[in-house]
């Protein structure tokens, strides 16, 4: 059984515009975040967008993570690619190095890495991919935290490698009774009621479990709460989420301040 | 008049294969180099090739530089692109950060940066581009040396910014009487006699000048001698170049050991 | 002096989303158009977006053109690239062939070609680029109309090659007194008053001239009126443009019905 | 049991260089081919290379096919991507339309389509992918032949759709006893004895079967014999292949002349 948590991070993917195309509502949600995941230029973003996003996050004192993905701009990194583990390792190392170096060039420090989209999904179940990601991140900087879902192979391999792990909970995604996410191809993949989102996130963060609409109890472990900035209801929810968490006795802080100490 | 030099570096572009396509003869020429410039993934190369090239260079104890270019794989970065200085800065910073981070991840240290192809050519004459490149490199790491041609705007701005500059001489390219390179669209762009290449490089390195075939005297300053690994005669020349330089009293060493001290 | 025209086309760029990123308001403006220019996958769009856009345009009986650009997704084709004419020719032919074939695969017929962004701007003044574009389009199909600004090299070379030319007027861009567009880097590049936009377009279409705010008379020739679908005021303007043109005695029809006959 | 064939086609992939990177030995092998598969710009090639390859093939009177692949240049289209059937359809249609239009622009006619690499492998076993490919090709031109392996889903769906199918045999790849290819990750994937390659190809073409080294009989159906131009022994073999086939009473001709009539 998961222990109750006293601290949690609120995070979102950011900087997902390649060139002139807008995605997400970065400026609207940044005031409510403690961490953010920056796309690294392979599934989204480009050098100018990365820089602008770093500047925005530093202005708002939001902790920064790299968000590497498959090299598939048109598919937004959401299509699985059959890469050898060695290719995954090099791909992740390159992307993390690029964003880490840019963050440091602007006086900051990279806090964590979270794989994106299909790469994240594959790393939940595939040992080769999960190990390659952990190897790349550790090589880039052994102090980096790794964001992963609690029961994933990524979480297991990161822990085994002695890396700090932040277990991720999704504010706005539907969960199946077994703790996996409802597929994006199904109804219920995205929640639409901001109030219900927040209540569920508070329960999950405080109790390590929550109830689904059909009465199932889902056990979760929550170090960081992720929301999707381009989803309207999430934008509404995040504005009250912090207050509700704090009212429930849960401190809100960047994951770098507690993931390693856990 | 240029003073005689006592030390010089021998370098080549490397790792220019994107995915499975071969370019250059990296393994054949690496034993004869003291430095190398690694393509960063925008005009050539990819994460796996960068890693393989880093491992090869470290095995041979060759000093490593980043070789950023325009985002134009099909054009191999040899086609001028009209980028705003701010876009140049972010583009160069991203590429340098990626390769610098990968070099460090494998236990090395990035020594220098040399812009590639059309970006290098534009930086010879365009102040905005040259300043943006210098700003990016300084931001990435103020200890990095910058490779530039002696009379270029890049050389001037790098010097003004307090950065170490390594002035580049080309082993295998034809020079005009005014010290500029013969255009790749003209006859004489690439030299074909290995012996003549070496003699010219020794004269340039020792005396700061050399004579062209039609009797003109070209003044040059030589910190690093660049050769093209995919050009057969250069491959022949590099095998005797070091011995000829040393016979003329010129030490051969990575530019990091003397560019800053100059 | 330009003769008054009796017919005009209303057109917009469409299908400019690469993968999941939205751009423009295709579905909002399509009911008001007689022609559209589809991005071909190099500066924007992708195969799935092209297909969806073709289906949308055919449903609304809007005539279809190909809108080829430089291979620069991050720069949205708005950055000049220094390509040899032969490379321009092959680049344009490939893009036109791809969209032409897709239009025909869905039972339609490609009406015209309009180069995009920096390629269009370069073709206004550079003979080599303009000739290469004309050669590519003629090779793809000599019946295709070419959209060009009246005094451009593209217009001249298309006419000399015996191709149908549609001279383009911009509904929402500012004009200088010499008939060139106000640069996008300056104030006044985009007009903001829908009513004024429409009045100017009617004057230009009917009289072949219009007056600027500072009293200069600009002579123009108008076969097709282009608007930018992602610019709010243009969206307002296009809803009344057709009625105002028809009230002034100008028929609104796809350019294919009159460009060749002119 | 497969019936003996009286006609066969000899083909190779061509035009696989993106920009300046060389691959294959197009000019060396083209005199020995009756058909060729041109890469379409997504896994390899670019517009200029496609044009040069078309001109080369037409000069040698070699029949032309399009060779579409996954959008993965760095992986050379050899890495499986998890695309929805609709995305496969649009991807294939775009690539076929581009090459078909370019072939016609130079006075030729596209003869066939063969999917490349991982796309070809997935289409052997996945109904959704195979159907999408067939739908795209039929939409582009119902007269196009489709190259497929005999027992593949692609072969089945192409036949069911009434399309001409050319069954492919590999001159230089190892076969397992069940008629599948030896994986590229295993020894024996590529044959190295030119004489044995030719003997096997003659047996397969004439008898519809051949014996492997360990005595197994593999049944095959051969309309087109594919070889890899960058594999040295294949280059040797192809120079005597035609003569050996003709000596065995098998006519060598482009597949377009017999695939439909079969």
Q: Which residues of B touch C79 (CB under 8 A)?
A: 81-83
* pLDDT tens digits, D8-37: 999 999 988 777 777 677 888 999 999 999
Q: Exposed, middle or buried by CB within 10 Å (0-12, 13-18, 19+), for D254?
A: buried
Query: How many CB contacts within 8 angstroms connect chain A with chain C?
Result: 33
Residue pairs spanning A and B at CB distance below 8 A: 73
In whole angstroms, give the CA distance from residue D13 to residue B33.
37
Residues of A in contact with B93 (CB under 8 A): 47, 51, 101-102, 105
Confidence class for position C262, pLDDT limits 50, 70, 90: low
For A38, other C-beta atoms within 10 Å of its C-beta total 27
Q: Which residues of B touch C (CB under 8 A)?
A: 71-72, 74-75, 79-83, 87, 118
Cα torsion B39, B45, B50, B56: sign: negative
Q: Which residues of D touch A83 (CB under 8 A)?
A: 75, 79
Q: Is A101 within 8 Å of B98 when comparing Cβ atoms?
A: yes
* Number of other CB atoms surrounding residue D154 within 10 Å: 28
Q: A64, A93, A109, A119: best mutation site toward chain B, by most B Cβ within 10 Å?
A: A93
| Closest chain D residue to C137, measured at CA | D105
Q: Is B162 helix (H, G, I), strand (E, B) or coil?
A: coil
CATH says A7-257 is which class?
Answer: alpha beta
| D19 Rama class: left (phi>0) / alpha (psi -120 to 50) / beta | left
- Which chain C residues are within 8 Å of A73, Cβ to Cβ? 18-19, 73
> How many whole angstroms separate alpha carbon C154 and alpha carbon C146?
9
Q: How far is CA A132 from CA A93, A126, A136, in A?
A: 10, 10, 6
Cβ-defined contact of B83 to C79 (cutoff 8 Å):
yes
Instruction: Tell me which chains share at least 3 CB pairs under 8 Å with chain A.
Output: B, C, D
Closest by CA position to B22, among listed B61, B54, B53: B53
B118 contacts in chain C (CB < 8 Å): 82
Predicted confidence at residue D6, as pLDDT, reads 85
| Chain B residues with beta carbon closer than 8 angstroms to that of A106 | 139
Chain A residues whose CB is inside 8 A of the D72 CB are 71-72, 81
Q: Are strands C251-252 and C7-14 parallel, antiparallel or unpaired?
A: parallel
List residues bridging with A252 in a β-sheet.
Answer: A8
Alpha carbons within 13 angstroms on the beta-carbon side of residue B82 total 14
- Please tell me the distance from the alpha carbon of residue B31 to that of residue B242, in angstroms, as a whole number: 11
**Predicted pLDDT of residue B180:** 86
Domain ranges of chain B: 7-257
C-alpha neighbours within 13 Å on the C-beta side of residue C11: 31
Task: Report yes or no: C64 and C38 within 8 Å, Cβ to Cβ.
Answer: yes
Q: Mean of the pLDDT values across residues D115-140?
A: 97
Closest CA–CA distance from residue A75 to any residue of chain C (Å): 6
pLDDT tens-place string over residues D245-256? 999 999 999 987
pLDDT band at A261 (very low <50, low <70, confident <90, very high): low
**A214-218, D24-28, D185-189, D244-248: which has the highest mean pLDDT?**
D244-248
User: B-C interface: how many C-beta pairs under 8 angstroms?
Assistant: 28
**Considering only CB atoms, which residues of chain C are within 8 Å of chain D?**
41, 47-48, 50-51, 86-87, 90-91, 93-102, 104-106, 139-140
pLDDT of D122 > 50? The answer is: yes
DSSP-derived secondary structure for B83-106: --HHHHHHHHHHHHHHHHHHHHHT
Is the pLDDT confidence value at C3 over 50?
no
In the predicted model, what is the mean pLDDT of residues A114-118? 97
> What residues of chain B lie within 8 A of the CB of D70, using their CB?
none
- Does residue C4 register a pLDDT over 50? no
CA dist., res. A19 & res. C44, Å (int):
10
**What whole-number percentage of chain C has pLDDT above 90?**
81
Chain C residue numbers touching D101 (CB-CB < 8 A): 93, 96-98, 100-101, 140
pLDDT in tens, B150-177: 999 999 999 999 999 999 999 999 999 8
- The one-character DSSP state at B224 is E
A4-18, A42-56, A233-247, D161-175, range with the lowest pLDDT: A4-18
- C73 vs A18, A22, A76: nearest CB: A18
Distance from CA of A30 to the nearest CA of D (A): 33
Nearest CA-CA distance, residue D127 and chain B, Å: 30
| Residue from A20, A98, A109 whose CB has the most chain B CBs within 10 Å, to mutate | A98
- Mean pLDDT over each residue of chain C, to the nearest integer: 93
Which residue is closest to C87 within chain D, CA to CA?
Answer: D48
User: Which residue among A74, A82, A118 sits closest to D79, beta carbon to beta carbon?
Assistant: A82
**ipTM of model over 0.90:** yes
Strand pairing report for C217-219 and B251-252: unpaired
Most A CBs within 10 Å, among C15, C16, C19, to test the A interface:
C19
pLDDT tier, A23 (very low <50, low <70, confident <90, very high otherwise): low
Contacts of D117 in chain A (CB under 8 A): none
Lowest mean pLDDT among A45-54, A135-144, B181-190: B181-190
- Could you tell me the end-to-end alpha-carbon distance of chain A, in angstroms, rounded to an integer? 16
* Interchain CB distance below 8 Å, C18 and A22: no
Task: State the smallest CA–CA distance between residue A51 and chain C in angstroms.
Answer: 14
Strands A209-211 and D209-211: unpaired
Best residue in B48, B58, B68 for a mutation probing chain A (most A CBs within 10 Å): B48
Residue among C20, C23, C76 minimizing CB distance to A76: C20
Over residues C136-160, the mean pLDDT reads 97
C183 or D119, which is more confident: D119
pLDDT confidence band for C1 (50 / 70 / 90): very low
Rg (CA), chain A: 17
Closest approach of C13 to chain A, Cα-based (Å): 15
* Per-residue pLDDT, B229: 85
Note the pTM of the prediction, 2 decimals.
0.95
Q: How far apart are CA A241 and CA A225, in angstroms?
A: 10
Q: What is the pLDDT, as a whole number, of residue C215?
A: 86
| Chain segment A237-257, per-residue pLDDT in tens | 999 999 999 999 999 999 877
pLDDT digits (tens, 9 = 90+) for D148-182: 999 999 999 999 999 999 999 999 999 998 888 89
pLDDT at residue C2 greater than cutoff 50: no
Report the gap between the CA of C92 and the closest CA in chain D (Å).
9
Q: Which residues of chain B have pLDDT under 50?
A: 1-5
User: What's the confidence (pLDDT) of residue C44?
Assistant: 93
Instruction: Give B18's contacts in chain D (Cβ within 8 Å).
Output: 18, 21, 73-74
C112's enclosing H/E stretch is strand C110-113
Write out the two tokens for D194. Answer: 């030119």
Chain A residue numbers with beta carbons less than 8 Å from the beta carbon of C48 are 74
pLDDT of residue C98: 98
**C253 and C10 in contact (C-beta within 8 Å)?**
no
For an interface test with D, give the residue of C45, C51, C97 to mutate (most D CBs within 10 A). C97
Phi, psi of A134 (to 5 degrees): -60, -40
Asked if B76 and D46 come within 8 Å (Cβ–Cβ), the reply is: no
Share of chain A above pLDDT 90, in %: 81
**Which conformational region is residue C39 in: left (phi greater than 0), alpha (psi within -120 to 50 degrees), or beta?**
beta
Q: Which of A48, A87, A101 has the CB atom closest to B101's CB atom?
A: A101
What's the CA gap between B79 and B66, in Å, rounded? 19
């Amino acid at each position: 059984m998961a222990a109750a948590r006293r601290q949690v991070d609120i995070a979102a993917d950011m900087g997902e515009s390649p060139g002139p195309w807008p995605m997400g509502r970065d400026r609207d949600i940044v005031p409510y975040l403690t961490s953010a995941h920056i796309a690294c230029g392979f599934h989204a973003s480009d050098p100018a967008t990365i820089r602008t996003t770093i500047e925005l996050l530093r202005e708002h004192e939001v902790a920064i993570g790299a968000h590497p993905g498959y090299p598939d701009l048109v598919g937004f990194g959401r299509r699985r690619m059959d890469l050898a583990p060695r290719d995954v390792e090099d791909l992740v190392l390159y992307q993390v190095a690029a964003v880490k170096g840019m963050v440091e060039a602007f006086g900051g420090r990279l806090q964590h890495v979270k794989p994106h989209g299909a790469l994240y999904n594959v790393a939940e179940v595939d040992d080769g991919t999960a190990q390659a990601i952990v190897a790349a991140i550790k090589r880039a900087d052994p102090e980096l935290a790794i964001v992963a879902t609690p029961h994933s192979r990524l979480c297991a391999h990161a822990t085994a490698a002695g890396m700090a792990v932040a277990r991720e909970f999704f504010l706005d995604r539907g969960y199946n009774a077994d703790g996996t996410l409802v597929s994006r191809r199904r109804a219920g993949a995205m929640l639409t009621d901001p109030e219900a989102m927040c209540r569920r996130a508070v329960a999950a963060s405080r109790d390590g479990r929550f109830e689904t609409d059909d009465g199932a109890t889902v056990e979760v472990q929550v170090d960081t709460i992720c929301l999707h900035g381009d989803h309207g209801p999430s934008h509404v929810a995040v504005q009250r989420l912090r207050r509700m968490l704090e009212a429930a006795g849960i401190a809100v802080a960047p994951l770098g301040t507690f993931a390693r100490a856990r």
